[in-house]
Every structure is written in C-alpha cells, then in structure tokens.
Amino acid sequence: MATVNVTDASFKSDVLDADKPVLVDFWADWCGPCKMIAPALEEISDELAGQVTIAKMDIMENPDVPGKLGVQGIPFLVLFKDGQPAASLTGARPKSALKAWLEGVL
C-alpha cells in the first residue's frame, strides 16, 4: 500500500473519519529532509499496511489544515487515532527510528 495524498478538502474524510490510525506527513517540495524520509515512509506504509495509513499533505498547496494544527517546521509527522492527534514528531529520522517511533505510538 503506497502513501495517500491528502488535501485540505479531503482531510476530514481521509484522516479524521478514518477507521484506522493515520500518520500524516506534512511536507513541501522545497524541503530536503522531507524528500529524505519519503522513501522510508513508503516502505513503512507497505510494512504496516494493516495497522496504519500513511498520508502526505503538501503544506504549500494545502495551507488550511497545517495552519489550524500549528505546523511550524517540516517534516512534521502527526499520528491521528479516532480523529484526534495522538503523537507527533518533527524532523527527519532514519527509517528504523521512524518505524520504531510509529510502532511505539500505535
């Protein structure tokens, strides 16, 4: 399962109303660290497909949701469970650290 792209318009249905946890990666095309973790998130998405959905939201194309959540630095990862933010992480990490953090908060 690949990551899914989320927009301001689809955020409620794709993330808040989802039937399983959703990890949202807030990113931008100009962000080097965002590009560094993208392949790791794709792999984690496949490895944890039954447990969590990994979603990506481009903050430049979709400013409303990041603004409401107070996103100030990217990459910014937020795990939503039952429509609520359950955990967050700012900055790039190696795949092993990202996966360990995610598994720990799931």
CATH classification of the domain holding 41: 3.40.30.10
In terms of residue numbers, what domain contains 13? 4-101
- Report how many domains make up the chain: 1
Q: What global pTM score does this model have?
A: 0.96
pLDDT at 79: 98
Is 106 a domain residue?
Answer: no
With a cut of 70, say whether residue 1 has pLDDT above it: no
End-to-end CA distance of the chain, in Å?
Answer: 18
pLDDT tens column, 27-73:
999 999 999 999 999 999 999 999 999 999 999 999 999 999 999 99
Within-domain flag for 30: yes
Task: With respect to residue 44, please indicate whether it lies within any of the assigned structural domains.
Answer: yes
Give 69's Cβ-side CA count (13 Å radius). 27
Q: Catalytic site residues?
A: 31, 34
Domain-embedded: residue 65: yes
In a domain, 73, yes or no: yes
Let me know if residue 86 belongs to a domain: yes
Phi, psi of 72 (to 5 degrees): -115, -25
